[in-house]
A and B are shown apart, each in its own frame.
Chain A
Amino acid sequence: MIQGSARHSQPKRADEKEAQERLAAFEAEALGYANQLFRVALRLCREPARAEDLLQETYLQAWRSFPRFELGTNLRAWLYKIMFNVYYSAQRRQQLEVVPVEETIAETIAYDPPTPQHLTEEEVLLALEKLPRDFQLPVVLADVEDLSYREIADVLAVPIGTVMSRLHRGRKILRMELARYARDAGYRIAD
């Protein structure tokens, strides 16, 4: 019992210098991802001010749990997971209704057009913003933020099969939208 308690006992509150060294280490490791997290936070919250609040809360939680972070695992995916946790628990607190997944949207799309080329960045961003959020987030996490499908499933707390089907549909809708822009602008669509 005594041994057990000694093993489990929390270390005494570290003195100031040690804590500041820890903070410096945490900042060096984690703050580099702030911009990437912010981009996803923007898609979650829609407003920069709220995204910033979410990011602050995320980093505070991450700082508190940093001693429990396992070195060698993906810090970025860990930070994303904390961010989504913070976001969803705040939503639950506010008792906001979670928007139902728009499963039907892509279901009906049978035709997959060739991917248009020579699109402007504005067009790509516009098409991405038009994606329903349940498709947009996996697409951003996979194709922009480079998380693996497994990590995305973990971050979004959904089965990996769901991630894959949402990615598939999300990317398809994106391509359809872009093909429409290309057609409207009279671009040549690669065939």
Chain B
Amino acid sequence: MQKMDCRSFKEMLDSYLCQELAVETNHAMLHHAEHCSSCRCELGARRQLRESLRRSCAQECMSEEALARLRARLRAECLAECGEGTASWTVRWREVVKQLWAPKVLWPFAVTAALLVVGLGAWRWLLQPTSGGQTLSPALFDAATEDHLSCGVKHLNAFLAAGPAAINPESLGKYDLACARLPQVVAPDVAGLHLCAAHVCNAQERQFAHLVYTKDAQVVSLLVTARDAKALGLPEVLPADADNSPQLELNRRQDIQLGAYQTTKRVVIIVSALPALEAKMLNERLALPVAEYLRRSESQTASVMIAPLLWGDFPMILGGGTVR
């Protein structure tokens, strides 16, 4: 057996407690401790110190809210990944990089794929403004901007004064059943957003379901309204392209950024004064999931309806004031 004195015992004691020593050294340690009371005492003291280190560190915990935010972020990332063709640009970019890093044999494939991605992207980008062959009318964007500016700030103040009581999701359900669950569709803390109001409001003879969020001390509005002839500024409403994911339409009013998606019966608009890059992220993370959700609920509704629907009709509206 290895010879062990008090000095080397104390040197190796911590490694012994971490179970990092070889079997023979372990034996030598135990043997020494059996015969040396002072080292036995030191062994007990260091074990105790280790225990109290653990106990004291165990007090430092993450808050429940922080854990919820972590979960929300993961969920948002997961959703962004799996929505086909709707993945955020970071995800796409990572995939392109991953392809480039593949074994050398794959280089030609990777380059072709990258070209294809660029080509497809350009193609889709060219198609973008003509979702379903029809673009939204400038008047709709004006109405959305006005609603955002007048109503969003007012409700933010109400929220600051009254707290969560100011959020009124029931009114959304009265306006449009499919909108009743909207506050839940969006993960609560997606992209640093905080919900502070949900209500129905009017701007320029148009009704909107209006969710007001704050992000970095800025007001962000998510607006849902009927996709009718007036919204398109056209005499006739053609069905939106139901097979592909909704297409983004961008617009601007001075410093205000607008992004819109059309579903068959609705238009989802996001309005904010955020920088273009962040506004783009909100289009993908906030407005697109909402548009996808509405599109799904529309196709479910459509499948149980016996009578054919008139395009542009908004059958779920119960409150008056529908704009045709």
Contact = CB atoms under 8 A, between A and B. Distances in A.
Contacts of B87: 13
A39 B57 contact: yes
A1 interface: yes
Contacts, number: 133
B20 A148 contact: yes
A80 to B, nearest CB: 15
A140 interface: yes
A124 B53 contact: yes
Chain A interface, DSSP helix/strand/loop, else mixed: helix
B94 interface: yes
A15 to B, nearest CB: 6
A8 interface: yes
Nearest to B77: A60
A173 to B, nearest CB: 13
A60 B62 contact: no
Contacts of B18: 142-143, 146, 148-149
B70 A59 contact: yes
Given A59-B74, A121-B59, A8 B41 contact: no
B112 to A, nearest CB: 11
A49 to B, nearest CB: 9
B91 to A, nearest CB: 9
Interface of B: 10-11, 14-15, 17-18, 20, 38, 41-42, 44-46, 48-50, 52-57, 59-62, 66-67, 69-71, 73-75, 77-79, 81-84, 87, 94-95, 98-99, 102-103, 105-106, 109
Given A56-B69, A149-B15, 19 more contacts: A5-B106, A8-B106, A13-B87, A14-B82, A23-B74, A59-B70, A59-B73, A63-B77, A114-B41, A114-B45, A116-B45, A124-B49, A128-B56, A128-B57, A143-B53, A144-B54, A178-B49, A190-B41, A191-B38
